[in-house]
Amino acid sequence: MGENEPNSKASYDSSSLLDEESVALGSLLSGGISRQYAESGSSSSTQNVPLQDEAIEVGVDNTDKRIYGAVALGDHKTLFNLLNSCTTEVHPIDIKGNTALHFAVASACSTGDRDDSLYRCIDVLMSCEQMKVNMPNKKGYTAIGDALNELHKECVEHMLRHPSAKRLYLDYYPGDREFTVKEIIMETYPDLKPLLKEWTKEDLDLSEGKMKRLAALQHGKYDNFIETLDSNNPNPWYDEPYHSSLLEIACQMKNCKQFVTHLLENGADPNIKNRVTGMPLLHATARSGNLELLELLLNKDPIDVNVKDSEDRTILHWWARVSEKNPNDMETLKSCFKLLRDKSLFENGSIEEKDISGNTPFSIAVAREHRDRIILMLDVVESDTEYDHVCLTLESASKSLLEAILYYCIDSSNEPRDSEQFKVTLNFNALIKMMYFAADSVHKEILKHPVMSIFLNLLWKKLKMLFFLNVALYVTFLLSLTTYILFSEFCNIQNNGDVANNTNGFLSDNDSKVTCGMSDERRYNISQGLWYALMILLGLLSLRELGQLIAYRKEYIMSQENWLELLLLVVTFTSCSGVVDSSEGNRHLFAIAILLGWFELVLILGRLPQLSVQIEMFKKVSLTFLEFMAGYIVLILAFAFSFYILFEENAEVGDAALFSNPLISILKIIVMFAGEFEASSLPFDTLPGTSHVIFLLFVFFVAIVLLNLLQGLAVGDTRKVREDAETLSLVARIRLITYIFDVYIELPYFIKRHLAYEYANYELFPKKEKIIGPSLQSIVNEKLERNKKEKTIDNVENWKLFTEKLSTLESDSKETRQMLKKILTHLNIPEP
* SS3 state at 49: strand
Pair 371, 324: CB distance under 8 Å: no
Sequence-separated (6 or more) residues with CB below 8 Å from residue 33? 24, 27, 49, 50, 51, 65, 68, 69, 72
User: Has residue 185 got a pLDDT over 90?
Assistant: yes
Q: Report which DSSP code applies to 496.
A: T
pLDDT tens digit sequence for 27-48: 333 333 333 333 323 332 333 3
Pair 389, 396: CB distance under 8 Å: no
Pair 48, 95: CB distance under 8 Å: yes
> How many whole angstroms separate alpha carbon 568 and alpha carbon 542?
10
Sequence-separated (6 or more) residues with CB below 8 Å from residue 155? 105, 108, 109, 119, 122, 147
* Strand 424-427 with 761-764, pairing: antiparallel
Sequence-separated (6 or more) residues with CB below 8 Å from residue 549? 556, 557
pLDDT tens digit sequence for 318-349: 999 998 888 788 889 999 998 888 877 766 66
Backbone angles phi, psi at 56, to 5 degrees: -100, 130
User: Has residue 313 got a pLDDT over 60?
Assistant: yes
User: Has residue 56 got a pLDDT over 60?
Assistant: no
**Bridge partners (DSSP) listed for residue 412:** 424
Pair 79, 71: CB distance under 8 Å: yes
User: Has residue 520 got a pLDDT over 80?
Assistant: no
Long-range contacts of 407-416 (CB under 8 A, 24+ apart): 407/451, 407/779, 407/782, 407/783, 407/786, 408/371, 408/372, 408/375, 409/375, 409/434, 409/451, 410/451, 410/454, 410/779, 410/780, 410/783, 411/783, 412/780, 412/783, 412/784
> How many whole angstroms separate alpha carbon 102 and alpha carbon 72?
12
Predicted confidence at residue 518, as pLDDT, reads: 58
Neighbours of 14 (CB within 10 A): 11
Q: Report which DSSP code applies to 508.
A: P
Same topology, domains 9-195 and 210-399? Answer is yes
Of 236-240, 482-486, 818-822, the poorest mean pLDDT is in 818-822
Pair 329, 291: CB distance under 8 Å: yes
Predicted confidence at residue 771, as pLDDT, reads: 52
Sequence-separated (6 or more) residues with CB below 8 Å from residue 117? 74, 75, 76
Q: What pTM value is reported for the model?
A: 0.70
Sequence-separated (6 or more) residues with CB below 8 Å from residue 565? 541, 545, 600
Neighbours of 386 (CB within 10 A): 21
Of 404-418, 549-563, 648-662, 731-745, the poorest mean pLDDT is in 648-662
User: Has residue 52 got a pLDDT over 70?
Assistant: no
* SS3 state at 413: coil
Q: What's the rounded mean pLDDT across residues 717-734? A: 70
Q: What's the rounded mean pLDDT across residues 129-151? A: 91
pLDDT band at 25 (very low <50, low <70, confident <90, very high): very low
User: Has residue 483 got a pLDDT over 60?
Assistant: yes
Bond before 748 cis per omega within 30 degrees: no
* Buried residues in 144-167 as b, exposed as e (16+ CB within 10 A): bbbbbbbebeebbbbbbebebbeb
Predicted confidence at residue 96, as pLDDT, reads: 86
Q: What's the rounded mean pLDDT across residues 677-704? A: 78
> How many whole angstroms separate alpha carbon 213 and alpha carbon 230?
9
Helix/strand/coil percentages in the chain, nearest 5: 60, 5, 35
User: For the chain, first and last CA: distance in Å?
Assistant: 39
Pair 187, 178: CB distance under 8 Å: no
Sequence-separated (6 or more) residues with CB below 8 Å from residue 700? none
DSSP 670-720: HHHHTT---GGGS-TTTSTTHHHHHHHHHIIIIIIIIHHHHHHHHHHHHHH
Between 54 and 456, the more confident residue is 456
Long-range contacts of 646-649 (CB under 8 A, 24+ apart): 646/686, 646/687, 646/690, 646/691, 646/694, 647/682, 647/683, 647/686, 647/691, 649/686
pLDDT tens digit sequence for 728-785: 777 777 777 777 777 666 666 555 555 544 444 567 666 665 555 445 666 666 666 6
pLDDT band at 57 (very low <50, low <70, confident <90, very high): very low
* SS3 state at 268: coil
pLDDT band at 366 (very low <50, low <70, confident <90, very high): very high
pLDDT band at 88 (very low <50, low <70, confident <90, very high): low
* SS3 state at 337: helix
pLDDT tens digit sequence for 490-501: 666 555 444 444
Pair 236, 217: CB distance under 8 Å: no
pLDDT band at 619 (very low <50, low <70, confident <90, very high): confident
Pair 168, 160: CB distance under 8 Å: yes
Domain boundaries, the chain: 9-195, 210-399, 455-605, 618-723, 773-826
Q: What's the rounded mean pLDDT across residues 306-316? A: 90
Between 413 and 750, the more confident residue is 413
Sequence-separated (6 or more) residues with CB below 8 Å from residue 505? 484, 488, 527, 530, 531, 576
* SS3 state at 553: coil
* Buried residues in 773-808 as b, exposed as e (16+ CB within 10 A): eeebeebbeebeeeeeeeeeeeeeeeeeeeeeeeee
Pair 484, 762: CB distance under 8 Å: no
Q: What's the rounded mean pLDDT across residues 449-455? A: 81
> How many whole angstroms separate alpha carbon 641 and alpha carbon 648?
10
3-class secondary structure per residue, 744-798 = HHCCCHHHHCCCCCCCCEEEECHHHHCCCHHHHHHHHHHHHHHHHHHHHHHHHHH
> How many whole angstroms separate alpha carbon 17 and alpha carbon 496?
124
Q: Report which DSSP code applies to 300.
A: S
pLDDT band at 2 (very low <50, low <70, confident <90, very high): very low
Statement: 210-399 belongs to CATH 3.40.50.720: no
pLDDT tens digit sequence for 201-258: 888 887 778 899 999 999 889 988 988 888 788 899 999 899 999 999 999 998 899 9
> How many whole angstroms separate alpha carbon 718 and alpha carbon 721?
5
Predicted confidence at residue 831, as pLDDT, reads: 54
Q: So what's the architecture of 9-195 in CATH? A: Alpha Horseshoe (1.25)
Q: What's the rounded mean pLDDT across residues 517-544? A: 81
DSSP 153-193: HHHHHHHHHSGGGGG---SS--TT-SS-HHHHHHHH-GGGG
**Bridge partners (DSSP) listed for residue 427:** 761
**Bridge partners (DSSP) listed for residue 424:** 412, 764
Sequence-separated (6 or more) residues with CB below 8 Å from residue 679? 695
Neighbours of 611 (CB within 10 A): 15
Between 262 and 653, the more confident residue is 262
Q: Report which DSSP code applies to 246.
A: H
> How many whole angstroms separate alpha carbon 280 and alpha carbon 318?
11
